[in-house]
Amino acid sequence: MSGSDGECQSSGMLSKNQLLHLFDRFAFLTSQPEVKKRIADAVDDKQEAVAVTTAIQEEIFLEMGVGKSVLLDIVGEQIKSFIQVLIFRQLSPKACVAQPDVCASDPRFGLACLGRVNMAYENDQDLMIRFYGFVVKEELACEEAELGPDNFAGKMEMQLKLQEQQLEMLKHMRKFHLDDQSTILENLHQQMEAANFDDESSVFSVEQIQDIVRRRVTPVFRLR
């Protein structure tokens, strides 16, 4: 997964295989109890959960050899300049691997690539689905740490019930004409907008759907 000849990759764009490796590795790590505890402990210490998940992504990039070679800020500026000269004149291109006390890998290149996935792979439907799944996985990892295991499990159960209700609503909607379906969706959007897009506002009951269709077919005319 690293650059050629053991060098750190620091240019271009991550390949599809590299991104898929990142997504799979991140999903595996964030499912491990010790990593869940790491994120939760950070939240308990008043740190942002997303800062930890970002750090985990950076660690994966380091494993993959993705990042630019940078000089560690461990010496004074004059000594640092002298070491830089030695690196460029004497050390091999593999210096970032061979001299860990002098060089390190900066994973920010990998993070920058994640910010360009939408543009670079917009026509790759499979990768984009996996990318959005990766984003959701990070959000859920953060949310679990912030809510705690019990509250998070309760919320996931509610989300599952809501998804089941939405599926039943869509199945019922398909029984109606396309014009009726459009009217139902328009009313649903208005309801969600009025409720500031609260999750529970994203569902109509069978009775509500039937009422919307009935009012569309037999509109009420008011006398002037």
| DSSP 8-state class, residue 196 | T
Q: What SS3 state is found at 68?
A: strand
Instruction: Supply 160's token pair.
Output: 């599952």
For the segment 135-146, what is each residue's pLDDT rounded down to a tens digit? 999 999 999 999
Neighbours of 21 (CB within 10 A): 16
**What digits encode the pLDDT tens for the residues 168-196?**
999 899 889 999 999 999 999 999 999 88
Q: How far is CA 79 from the centre of its chain?
A: 41
pLDDT of residue 65: 86
How far apart CA 70 and CA 61 sit, in angstroms, is 15
Helix ranges, 148-203 (H): 149-173, 178-194
Mean pLDDT of 113-130: 93
For 4, the token pair is 């050629």
Q: How many helices and strands (H and E) does the chain possess?
A: 11, 2
Q: Is the pLDDT of residue 218 over 70?
A: no
Question: pLDDT digit string (tens) for 18-50?
Answer: 999 999 999 999 999 999 999 999 999 999 999
